[in-house]
Copies of this chain bind each other. A is one copy, B any other.
Amino acid sequence: MTHRNAHAPAPARIGDPLSEIDTPALIVDLDAFERNIARMAAKVSAMRASGGNASLQLRPHAKTHKSPDIAARQIAAGAIGVCVQKVAEAEALVDGGVADVLVSNEVVGRSKLARLAALARRARLSVCVDHPDNVRALSAAMVEAGASIDVLVEIDVGAGRCGVPPGEPAAALAQQVASSPGLRFAGLQAYHGSAQHLRSVAERQQAIAGAVGKAASTRAMIEALGIAVPKITGAGTGTFELEGASGVYSELQAGSYIFLDADYARNQAASGSTFAEFEHSLFILATVMSRPVAGRAVCDVGHKASSSDSGYPTVPDIEGAAYVGASDEHGVIRLDQPGVALAIGDKIRLIPGHCDPTVNLHDWFVGVRAGRVESLWPVSGRGPGF
């Protein structure tokens, strides 16, 4: 299953100038991308040194990119492994050479559990649980395959999605995991998803302070049962500096930092924070396909090339230009500067509103440096992820 999307035709060839890339295409500014990787590595080193947690690790979320090529670069810069959300993503990454993968999600159903168990025989695998039935099914699948897996109890620290409540229910589940064959209790997942895009620093601080408290008290309750809690994992690009400084979290799952989308860029950064130092490295290359009136250009990027769940893409390179409407295959760009020179056939860069679901629409990352295509990486784990 390695690089299964390598079967899809690519929108460019290595060495092509930017002007020859066919559109819509997902392009990666390799210089900015590498700076983002280096900055995050430096941040995590600094957090370790500052004494919050000397063994703090970065495990970037690969649901953002679904690419073993990108995962390899994150790991080379010090990441301990990656997270994914789906078994299909885990398969694509292990097939692509990643040796340590956390499925930061519940895996449900016999077929998926069997695939997870098969994968756990080939790589260091971890997974989350939030229900006793699921723990039993997971254990049975591991025993049947002769495999074992690290298991994190997911607690709901405020996101209102999956996860058991902190405290007693989590401790009970940890006990069940610790006594289940094929499962190694590995700690807690305490990811506060809905805190990531709170716009003000103060709101994010308050949300993560609550998450830290719940994770710490749950850990204490489990330890009181005589069960070690090897790790507490969580955090995203919006808040990782807070979890990293907490002394409670031992692993950071930030993923979007590598690309930085338009929605994350709307977060306010703390003074002195390096959050604002990440750069947009991911762009959708679009072609102007119609110039029906002076104030309007229509490009070839719509819903099928750019996710709109967190707002439309932005148009960074053209003053007074705003992407104001998407249909399936078209994007309508309003031009406030009537004199702007934008002709049919011109290529323009868009910054995606939300990087993860936008990447999932494409089959290839086209890596660009100094105006030329340097790399073609398939979005190996692309798809709905069954």
Contact = CB atoms under 8 A, between A and B. Distances in A.
B344 A292 contact: no
A332 B24 contact: no
B9 A7 contact: no
A131 interface: yes
A329 B7 contact: no
A105 interface: yes
A18 to B, nearest CB: 13
A246 interface: no
A122 interface: no
A289 interface: yes
Nearest to A293: B165
A106 B290 contact: yes
Interface string A51-87: 0000000000001000000000000000000000110
A8 B289 CA distance: 31
A63 B134 CA distance: 39
**Copies held by the complex:** 2
Interface in A261-308: 287-292, 296, 298, 300-301, 303-305, 307-308
B327 A112 contact: no
A386 B11 contact: yes
Contacts of A112: 22
Contacts of A156: 292
- Output the residue of A5, A107, A301, A357 with the most chain B CB within 10 A: A357
A226 interface: no
Contacts of A22: 109, 111-112, 386
B287 A130 contact: no
Contacts of A165: 292
Contacts of A193: 327
Interface in A353-380: 354, 356-357, 360-363
A363 to B, nearest CB: 6
A63 B385 contact: no
Nearest to A26: B384
Contacts of A137: 345
A121 interface: no
A328 B304 contact: no
A339 interface: no
A215 interface: no
A317 to B, nearest CB: 19
A108 B330 CA distance: 13
Contact of A304 (B1, B164, B329, B360): B360
B360 A108 contact: no
Contact of A303 (B1, B5, B133, B309): B309
Contact of A108 (B111, B130, B300): B300
A298 B162 contact: yes
Contacts of A5: 8
Given A85-B328, A328-B357, 12 more contacts: A11-B386, A22-B112, A25-B384, A108-B345, A160-B296, A162-B290, A162-B330, A304-B383, A304-B384, A305-B384, A309-B326, A328-B360
